[in-house]
């Protein structure tokens, strides 16, 4: 990489960083939406000129109506990959290169300077993502701008837990900001020793790993005093959130980002806000009263693989009261998880399957007894649920009875038939797979 190029990257980095820092500069919601509308229209003009797929998909549609354009999802995006991206990269070429890189883990695949990313998921259902060098700089700068406390020039030692070091993260290497990557597949004892030496000012990690670190901190094996802890990549369960804030004596922050976009960040108050300076997030309500919705995202900052009116497979719960921080960006109570983890039980009335939000299952377990330290609830069929509980062994029976009663009570109140519940000892090893405390394992027909 030439010096000129590096300088240009640095200038861009500082610009995006500063922009992300003042992200909340909109005085009113109306001002934000008007600005977003202009961003999207400019973006659409570019995309229509470069992407054969979108040109055809939106043919004859008025640009002022973009909020009602037909949607896309992962299936469409992958099926139309070649014609959708604006850099002429073919799916087969990108996929075989990405798989090869994953196998060897020793290079980051690139085609003509564009980084190829492969999202996690089941083998047939993995997403393929393209990121240009400019977008990579922007991503890193925006992420740091939104997540870092203080200024860019304050020194930071960041401990970043992830599955494998990739180029995408590697670009966040600035002089005053040190990055250490911790491979989630390594043993926790290795991490503890490493963290004690490194003394990070910021820890970024999935909550399942933070749990282990928090327990080590409580036992006195881990001795760190980070200024900020950011939970990523997995749903932050209210149980883990309160446990971790007790362990580390601070608010646990969150960054909600997936390969499709950088969706939300917590403010100084610990409230998650949608990153509406980067994306338009429309709501497809699943339950308006409860404020539960599926986000439909339009990312007007990424042009390599444009994401327009893309329906995510996640459930979010909006917060109805404004956040005291004063931001006009939509506050979110929680990211509930994936739509695939909605539970379904037969209705008492007619036997039809009724969806039950993961949040209700969570609350039923947490409210049952303060003895539950960790749990997993797995629905294996409309009438079969397995529950794993971790808590004091001498209270196991009481714990199981309380959780079963609480769950049945909530379900009966919803007019559905409670399932047969089986109990198992708690089991989960962070690293290879993402922790889902509420998980559905059967598919709907
Ligand atoms: Zn806020």
Listing DSSP states for 367-387 in one string gives HH-TT--EEEEEEEETTEEEE
pLDDT per residue over 27-59, tens digit each?
899 999 999 999 999 999 999 999 999 999 999
User: Of the residues 275, 305, 339, which one is the last residue of a structural domain?
Assistant: 339
Is the distance from CB of 375 to CB of 390 less than 8 angstroms?
Answer: yes
Residue 309: inside a domain: yes
Residue 216: its pLDDT value, please?
97
Q: If you measure from the C-alpha of residue 13 to the centroid of ligand 1, how many angstroms do you get, rounded to a whole number? A: 25
Look up residue 411 and give its two tokens: 């379900």
Do 43 and 20 fall into the same domain? yes
Residue 157: inside a domain: yes
Residue 182: inside a domain: yes
Do 178 and 212 fall into the same domain? yes
Reported confidence tier of residue 352, pLDDT bands at 50, 70, 90: very high
Q: If you measure from the C-alpha of residue 272 to the centroid of ligand 1, how many angstroms do you get, rounded to a whole number? A: 7
Do 255 and 379 fall into the same domain? no
Do 306 and 364 fall into the same domain? no
Q: If you measure from the C-alpha of residue 334 to the centroid of ligand 1, how many angstroms do you get, rounded to a whole number? A: 13
Q: What is the CA radius of gyration of the chain?
A: 23
Is the distance from CB of 391 to CB of 373 less than 8 angstroms?
Answer: yes
Residue 367: inside a domain: yes
Residue 445: inside a domain: no
Q: If you measure from the C-alpha of residue 265 to the centroid of ligand 1, how many angstroms do you get, rounded to a whole number? A: 9
User: Minimum mean pLDDT among 69-83, 148-162, 233-247: which range?
Assistant: 148-162
**Is residue 69 helix, strand or coil?**
coil
Q: If you measure from the C-alpha of residue 254 to the centroid of ligand 1, how many angstroms do you get, rounded to a whole number? A: 12
CATH number of the domain within which 48 lies: 3.40.50.12780
Do 396 and 302 fall into the same domain? no
CA 107 – CA 167 distance, rounded (Å): 8
Query: How many domains in the chain?
Result: 2
Task: State CA 230 to chain mean position distance.
Answer: 12
Give, in degrees to the nearest 5, the angle at Cα 163 between 159 and 164. 90
Do 329 and 418 fall into the same domain? no
Can you tell me which residue has the tokens 């299952």?
Answer: 361
Q: If you measure from the C-alpha of residue 270 to the centroid of ligand 1, how many angstroms do you get, rounded to a whole number? A: 7
What does the pLDDT average to over 280-287? 97
Q: If you measure from the C-alpha of residue 66 to the centroid of ligand 1, how many angstroms do you get, rounded to a whole number? A: 29
Q: If you measure from the C-alpha of residue 206 to the centroid of ligand 1, how many angstroms do you get, rounded to a whole number? A: 22
Q: If you measure from the C-alpha of residue 332 to the centroid of ligand 1, how many angstroms do you get, rounded to a whole number? A: 9
Residue 139: inside a domain: yes
Q: If you measure from the C-alpha of residue 406 to the centroid of ligand 1, how many angstroms do you get, rounded to a whole number? A: 33
Do 182 and 252 fall into the same domain? yes
Is the distance from CB of 328 to CB of 28 less than 8 angstroms?
Answer: yes
Task: Quote the domain boundaries for residue 66.
Answer: 1-339
Q: If you measure from the C-alpha of residue 322 to the centroid of ligand 1, how many angstroms do you get, rounded to a whole number? A: 8
Is the per-residue pLDDT at 278 higher than 70?
yes
Give, in degrees to the nearest 5, the angle at Cα 24 between 18 and 25. 80
CA 307 – CA 281 distance, rounded (Å): 11
CA 120 – CA 99 distance, rounded (Å): 12
Q: If you measure from the C-alpha of residue 296 to the centroid of ligand 1, how many angstroms do you get, rounded to a whole number? A: 22
Look up residue 39 and give its two tokens: 């961003």
Look up residue 324 and give its two tokens: 């005291």
Residue 444: its pLDDT value, please?
85
389 sits in the region (left: phi over 0; alpha: psi -120 to 50; else beta) called beta
Is the per-residue pLDDT at 1 higher than 60?
no
Can you tell me which residue has the tokens 């797995």?
Answer: 378
**Strand-strand pairing, 156-162 and 202-205:** parallel
Do 371 and 288 fall into the same domain? no
Can you tell me which residue has the tokens 């709907």?
Answer: 444
Do 145 and 131 fall into the same domain? yes
Could you say which DSSP state residue 70 is in?
Answer: P
Do 285 and 379 fall into the same domain? no
Angle, nearest 10°, between helix axes 133-147 and 3-21? 40
Closest CA to 208 of 399, 390, 409, 3: 390
Q: If you measure from the C-alpha of residue 410 to the centroid of ligand 1, how many angstroms do you get, rounded to a whole number? A: 31
Do 183 and 133 fall into the same domain? yes
Q: If you measure from the C-alpha of residue 23 to the centroid of ligand 1, how many angstroms do you get, rounded to a whole number? A: 12
Is the distance from CB of 158 to CB of 327 less than 8 angstroms?
Answer: no
Q: What are phi and psi of 176, to 5 degrees?
A: -85, -10
Q: If you measure from the C-alpha of residue 27 to the centroid of ligand 1, how many angstroms do you get, rounded to a whole number? A: 14
State percent of the chain over pLDDT 70: 93
Is the distance from CB of 108 to CB of 100 less than 8 angstroms?
Answer: no
What string of DSSP letters covers 82-134? HHHSSS---HHHHHHHHHHHHHH-S---EETTEEEEE--S-GGG--EEEE-HH
User: Of the residues 297, 314, 339, which one is the last residue of a structural domain?
Assistant: 339
3-state class percentages of the chain: helix first, strand second, coil last, to nearest 5: 40, 25, 35
Residue 357: its pLDDT value, please?
95
Q: If you measure from the C-alpha of residue 330 to the centroid of ligand 1, how many angstroms do you get, rounded to a whole number? A: 9
Q: If you measure from the C-alpha of residue 213 to the centroid of ligand 1, how many angstroms do you get, rounded to a whole number? A: 27
Q: If you measure from the C-alpha of residue 44 to the centroid of ligand 1, how many angstroms do you get, rounded to a whole number? A: 30
Residue 291: inside a domain: yes
Q: If you measure from the C-alpha of residue 68 to the centroid of ligand 1, how many angstroms do you get, rounded to a whole number? A: 29
* Higher-confidence position of 248 and 152: 248
Q: How many CA atoms lie within 13 A of 352 on its CB side?
A: 4
pLDDT per residue over 3-24, tens digit each?
566 667 777 777 787 777 776 5
Q: If you measure from the C-alpha of residue 319 to the centroid of ligand 1, how many angstroms do you get, rounded to a whole number? A: 11
CA 302 – CA 134 distance, rounded (Å): 9
pLDDT per residue over 202-238, tens digit each?
999 999 999 999 999 999 999 999 999 999 989 999 9
Residue 34: inside a domain: yes
Is the distance from CB of 426 to CB of 386 less than 8 angstroms?
Answer: no
Angle, nearest 10°, between helix axes 238-248 and 358-368? 60
State percent of the chain over pLDDT 90: 72
Q: If you measure from the C-alpha of residue 224 to the centroid of ligand 1, how many angstroms do you get, rounded to a whole number? A: 27
Q: If you measure from the C-alpha of residue 24 to the centroid of ligand 1, how many angstroms do you get, rounded to a whole number? A: 10
CA distances from 124 to 80, 127, 129 (A): 16, 9, 15
Is the distance from CB of 172 to CB of 418 less than 8 angstroms?
Answer: no
User: Of the residues 339, 371, 400, which one is the last residue of a structural domain?
Assistant: 339
Is the per-residue pLDDT at 77 higher than 90?
yes
Do 62 and 141 fall into the same domain? yes
Calculate the dihedral angle through the C-alpha atoms of 296, 258, 148, 270, rounding to the nearest 10 degrees: 60
CA 254 – CA 87 distance, rounded (Å): 33
Q: If you measure from the C-alpha of residue 16 to the centroid of ligand 1, how many angstroms do you get, rounded to a whole number? A: 21
């Amino acid at each position: 990489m030439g010096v000129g190029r590096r300088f240009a990257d640095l200038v861009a980095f500082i610009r995006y960083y500063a922009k992300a820092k003042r992200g909340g500069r909109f005085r009113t919601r109306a001002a934000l939406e008007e600005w977003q509308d202009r961003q999207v229209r400019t973006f659409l003009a570019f995309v229509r000129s470069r992407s054969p797929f979108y040109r055809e998909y939106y043919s004859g549609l008025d640009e002022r109506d973009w909020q009602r354009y037909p949607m896309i999802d992962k299936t469409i995006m992958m099926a139309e990959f070649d014609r959708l991206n604006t850099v002429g990269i073919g799916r087969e070429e990108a996929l075989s290169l990405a798989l090869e890189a994953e196998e060897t883990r020793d290079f980051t695949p690139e085609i003509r300077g564009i980084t190829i990313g492969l999202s996690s998921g089941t083998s047939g259902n993995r997403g393929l993502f393209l990121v240009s060098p400019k977008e990579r700089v922007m991503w890193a700068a925006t992420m740091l701008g939104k997540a870092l406390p203080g200024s860019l020039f304050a020194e930071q030692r960041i401990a970043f837990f992830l599955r494998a070091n990739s180029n995408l993260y590697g670009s966040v290497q600035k002089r005053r900001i040190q990055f250490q990557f911790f491979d989630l597949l390594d043993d926790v004892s290795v991490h503890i020793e490493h963290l004690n030496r490194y003394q990070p000012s910021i820890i970024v990690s999935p909550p399942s790993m933070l749990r282990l670190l928090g327990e080590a901190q409580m036992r006195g094996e881990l001795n760190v005093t980070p200024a900020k802890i950011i939970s990523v990549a997995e749903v932050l369960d209210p149980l883990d959130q309160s446990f971790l804030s007790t362990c580390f004596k601070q608010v646990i922050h969150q960054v909600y980002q997936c390969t499709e976009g950088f969706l939300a960040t917590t403010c100084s108050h610990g409230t998650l806000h949608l990153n509406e300076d980067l994306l338009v997030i429309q709501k497809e309500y699943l339950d308006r009263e409860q404020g539960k919705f599926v986000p439909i995202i339009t990312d007007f900052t990424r042009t390599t693989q444009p994401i327009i009116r893309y329906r995510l497979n996640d459930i979010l719960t909006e917060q109805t009261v404004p956040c005291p921080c004063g931001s006009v960006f939509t506050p979110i109570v929680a990211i509930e998880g994936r739509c695939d983890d909605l539970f379904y039980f037969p209705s008492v009335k007619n036997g039809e399957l009724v969806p039950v939000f993961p949040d209700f299952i969570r609350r039923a377990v947490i409210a049952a007894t303060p003895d539950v330290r960790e749990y997993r609830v797995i629905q294996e069929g409309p009438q079969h649920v397995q529950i794993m509980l971790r808590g004091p062994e001498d209270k196991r029976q009481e714990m199981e009875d309380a959780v079963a009663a609480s769950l049945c009570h909530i379900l009966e109140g919803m007019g559905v038939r409670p399932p047969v519940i089986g109990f198992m000892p708690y089991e989960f090893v962070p690293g290879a797979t993402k922790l889902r405390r509420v998980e559905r394992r059967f598919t709907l027909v």
